[in-house]
Amino acid sequence: MKQIKELLCLLGCMLMTPAYAAGHVNNPYQGADVYHNEDYAQEIEQSIHRVHDAALVAAMRQLQHMPTAIWLDRIEAIAGGTANSGRASLEQHLNMALQQQANRPMVVELVLYNLPDRDCSAMSSNGTLSYRNNGLMRYQHDYIDVIARLTSEPRFSGLRFVFIVEPDSLPNMVTNLWNKKCAAVYQHKVYQRGIQYAVEQLSGHDNHYIYLDVGHSGWLGWDETLQKTVAFIAETVRATKPGLSAVDGFVTNISGSTPVEEPFLDNPSLKLQGKPVRSDSFYAWNRHFDEKDYIERLDQEFIAAGFPEHIRFLIDTSRNGWGGRYRPRQRSAADDVRHYVNESRIDRRFHRGNWCNPSGAGLGPRPQVSPYGEQHPVAAFIWVKPPGESDGTSDARQQEPDSEGKRYDPMCDPDYVVDYGPAPSRLPTGALPDAPPSGHWFHQQFLMLINNAWPPLLAPHDK
């Protein structure tokens, strides 16, 4: 099917260069359609063949047409294929995007995720490049240059490319230098140099839009950490040839499960029995309970740091819905902080640091442009992480990296207990069991996400 669609496009749609594609706009999603990844549709097909409930199959069919990002997590991914499946090449994806395009601009979301010594503080998806083995040069010339050349070709000028640049990288350089691997990467400025090169090579094209990762509110939301993050990112981008104006904005919550809004926890300064709500151990004095509040603060800080006032933010809402039977339906009536927070929050994780295949999560808000209006800093809700793709294997036997650089991380093990420090200090990961390696299809997780979707995807009697 992919080959047929590609051939049809080569015969016709590639020859067209729509007039509406001209010019760089403030919000690339405005007035545009977004490419739905044909590879993701095929992954969902695996689950469709395993269920027999008509309503569930219908819900899965809907999701096959939901736009999700293309992850370029290795040099080899540009040419297509993985160790376990024959995925489309980047060029095939772009041809299929042209084939999907009708009478509106078409956005193609590309996740650049291949820095040397990637994910320095985790192990589930470390990648295949190392700065010790000429990794930075390979990243620049065999990866970034190849992507930049292809997306700059005239035949693709009718597409708008949203580049989501290197999730987790710069935030790791702010908070995780206690880790020896992160400290070494920081010392050699591997992440900064790689991202600076990517920004320089990808900017300057009207249809190229660059967004950098800024973690999520549960990671970087404390005042001091947030300010350090903004300063570090500004320093990194300012050192590029085009400077701060090269970046169109930032992305939060990539592959995350932090809610867009906590509907019953809207006042972090509220006091109960003399204690602020944010003093509870779940928030640990972090005043930013959700992504909307976090972004509104980041917007102010980035502009103060010199970024243009029109910068915008994207939120990955693919897995932060937190619906299902355990979702609170009203604000707690408790008069103590501990019970008030636990009974009011929709985020049902044991700890905000639990990131791997979180149990109880659900599909979040569907992709949407300007959910709070065109003047608000949130430009769009998008699905960066294709729901149903694993965060990492729960198999403790996989201690060595596989052909994709992926291996076991204890945070993906449901039996592992994490020592977070402040009381209650020892908490489970909350990870799902029987998880495959990062990026591979995880049928049981997909079913959970559908059943716990918020807004709901299934009628109550279908769940």
Selecting among 119, 391, 409, 413, the annotated active-site residue is 391
Distance, in Å, from the CA atom of 93 to the CA atom of 100, rounded to the nearest integer, reads 10
Distance, in Å, from the CA atom of 227 to the CA atom of 249, rounded to the nearest integer, reads 17
Check: CB of residue 226 under 8 Å from CB of residue 297. yes
Distance, in Å, from the CA atom of 336 to the CA atom of 17, rounded to the nearest integer, reads 61
Backbone angles phi, psi at 61, to 5 degrees: -60, -40
Q: In 3-state terms, what secondary structure has residue 2?
A: helix
Check: CB of residue 228 under 8 Å from CB of residue 176. no
CA dihedral 60, 389, 6, 64 (to 10 degrees): 10
Beta-bridge mates of residue 107: 34, 160
The DSSP element (H or E) to which 197 belongs, if any, is: helix 190-202
Which pair of structure tokens corresponds to residue 424? Answer: 């209650």
Cα-to-chain-centroid distance, residue 19: 31
Distance, in Å, from the CA atom of 367 to the CA atom of 395, rounded to the nearest integer, reads 32
- 168 is an active site residue: yes
- 223 is an active site residue: no
Non-local (6+) Cβ contacts of 432 within 8 A are 357, 358, 359, 394, 414, 442, 444, 445, 448
Distance, in Å, from the CA atom of 128 to the CA atom of 116, rounded to the nearest integer, reads 7
Distance, in Å, from the CA atom of 241 to the CA atom of 237, rounded to the nearest integer, reads 9
Check: CB of residue 99 under 8 Å from CB of residue 8. yes
Distance, in Å, from the CA atom of 27 to the CA atom of 374, rounded to the nearest integer, reads 9
Selecting among 39, 73, 168, 299, the annotated active-site residue is 168
Find the distance separating the first CA and the last CA of the chain, reported in whole Å.
Answer: 32
Check: CB of residue 55 under 8 Å from CB of residue 93. no
Distance, in Å, from the CA atom of 278 to the CA atom of 284, rounded to the nearest integer, reads 6
Which residues are catalytically annotated? 168, 391
